[in-house]
Structure 1
Amino acid sequence: MTQQETAPVPALSKKTEQPKECFLIQPKETNEDATKTRKRKKKKITDVLAKSEPKPGTPEDLQKLMKDYYSSNRSVIELEELTLPDSCFLKANDLTHSLSSYLKEICPKWVKLRKNHSEKKSVLMLIICGSAIRALELIRSMTAFRGDSKVMKLFAKHIKIQEQVKLLEKRVVHLGVGTPGRIKELIKQGGLNLNPLKFLVFDWNWRDQKLRRMMDIPEIRKEVFEILEMGVLSLCKSESLKLGLF
């Protein structure tokens, strides 16, 4: 061969690129994030109550609340003195009653009682609730029971305590409906005498928009127990006063 033919050199193939691995870096959870997560997971009392069946209040509930409230600053003997006698409790509302039907059940001789009541600065029946708005609702809902009875609003909203004291001095009032804060102040100032009182009813089972009962609110619970110590306990023990849980 005059000229040696060289074989064509094969073209170098490009190196196949390997796919790169992608790593996602998770942001570190800060203490603040962890706290927020725990807060989100924590069940609210409103969520729990919304899913649970309502249970009517009982005398044992009131006794337990009192014991828990005073246990940290009272002796064993003092706690025993704060115990309400079972005989002072009327039948509690089983959640089937309206206010009028409940009051008729616990006080069937109301008409006779109110006719014989002539003492000023006092009431025969006291209904304690958690707010002024609730007090107005209760007054409207007891029409069938109260009849011609004189009813007085005993709360602070838009009503000065001096005005209430003067009204109690001038008029014979059969029914008082109000909040524990104002009722406590009326007792302290001598505007409301508890001795003629025959029935004390707590608006126990009603719940507000946050599903709280009146005794679930610390301020109200404190004022209720202060009222009990201002003469209610001794009247219950002497069997002249009865308690009801509506």
Structure 2
Amino acid sequence: MNDHLIVDYVASQTRRFESDLSSVELEDRYIPVSAVQDTTSWTKPRNLDNLPEFLEKFSDNTTKLWSASKKNGSPHSIIVTAAGLRAADLARAVRKFQTKDVKVAKLFAKHIKLKDSIGFLKSSRTGIAVGTPQRLKDLMDEGSLAVDRLERIVIDASHIDQKKRGILEMKETQIPLTAWLGQKPFRERYEGSKDKLQILFY
């Protein structure tokens, strides 16, 4: 699915799940096409094993995937998924980018208390963070998850659960996801030429 079709699909799901929103409120939920990186050139299965290679293919500088800001809790990449168990699997899949000094952050509510996630971010240099929409929003609101160095957001869109539903097909995950993506710190960078933030659908 190309970037235009993805944006249209996300918008249609937003209208479906949040039919009570005004046109102005809906506008804040929509993702601009310019924010979505076209990944149609990727022809391999979008599974756990191929995720590291996918990140390398669509990264301008692959060596930066192993790096992190000197500021703790400030990832260059955030991978967003629907549930804690899936987030744990994704975190394991990208562990190759973890080093002695740079950690992969697991930011989800399943078995991990909010205060523990806050403590981890405040004490660790983080290159890649993997989490669920609501937990990511809570950590941003709290201030421990910094997004000023963020370069890419990867949406785990192709994974479906046992009920054949993905993150964009479930009201309980699609609404928090679009609300999180529509936050002011992100919107300001989706269409800018400097410090541009990109969304990739995997």
Provide the rounded CA distance (Å) in 2 between the counterparts of 1:142 and 1:57.
Answer: 25
Do the aligned residues in 2 keep the contact of 1:91 with 1:244 (CA within 8 Å)?
yes
Deviation of 1:88 (Å): 2.4
Q: CA deviation at 1:107?
A: 1.0
Q: Which residue does 2:169 correspond to in 1?
A: 216
Structure with the larger RCO, 1 or 2 (CA within 8 Å, 6+ apart) = 2
Partner of residue 22, structure 2: 74
For 1:121, the aligned partner's letter is G
Aligned length: 189
Partner amino acid, structure 1, of 2:10:
L
Cα deviations across residues 153-206 of structure 1 (Å, max 9, x unaligned)?
000111111121122112111110011121111111112122211110000011
Q: Which residue of 2 aligns with 1:202?
A: 155
- CA deviation vs aligned residue, 1:100-154 (integer Å, no higher than 9, x gap): 121111114132365462122321100000111111211222345x253420100
Q: Determine which structure has more spread, i.e. the larger CA radius of gyration.
A: 1
1:122 lines up with 2:74 in the alignment: yes
Cα distance between partner residues in 1 of 2:4 and 2:201: 8
> How do 1:48-197 and structure 2 match up within 5 A?
56=1, 58-66=3-11, 68-69=14-15, 72-75=20-23, 79=26, 83-92=30-39, 94=43, 96-97=45-46, 98-112=50-64, 114-115=66-67, 117-144=69-96, 146-148=97-99, 149-197=102-150
Task: After the TM superposition, list the runs of 4 or more consecutive aligned residues in structure 1 that deviate by more than 6 angstroms.
Answer: none
Which residue in the other structure is 1:11 paired with? none
Q: Secondary structure at the match of 2:163?
A: coil
Task: Report the equivalent of 1:14.
Answer: none
Q: 1:232 to 1:94 in 2, by over 3 A?
A: farther
2:180 match? 227
- How far apart are 1:215 and its partner, in Å? 1.0
Alpha-carbon offset, residue 84 of structure 1 = 3.4
For residues 83 and 131 of structure 1, what CA distance do their matches in structure 2 show? 23
Give the TM-score normalised by the residue count of structure 1: 0.68
The answer on 1:238 being equivalent to 2:187 is no
Distance 1:159 1:189, change over 3 A: same
Partner SS, residue 168 of structure 2: helix
Identity of aligned residues (%): 25
Normalized against structure 2, the TM-score is what?
A: 0.81
Contact 2:35 2:199 in 1 (8 A): yes
The separation in 2 between residues aligned to 1:180 and 1:211, in whole angstroms, is 20
SS of match in other structure, 2:139: helix
The SS at the match of 1:214 is coil
Gaps of 5+ in 2: none
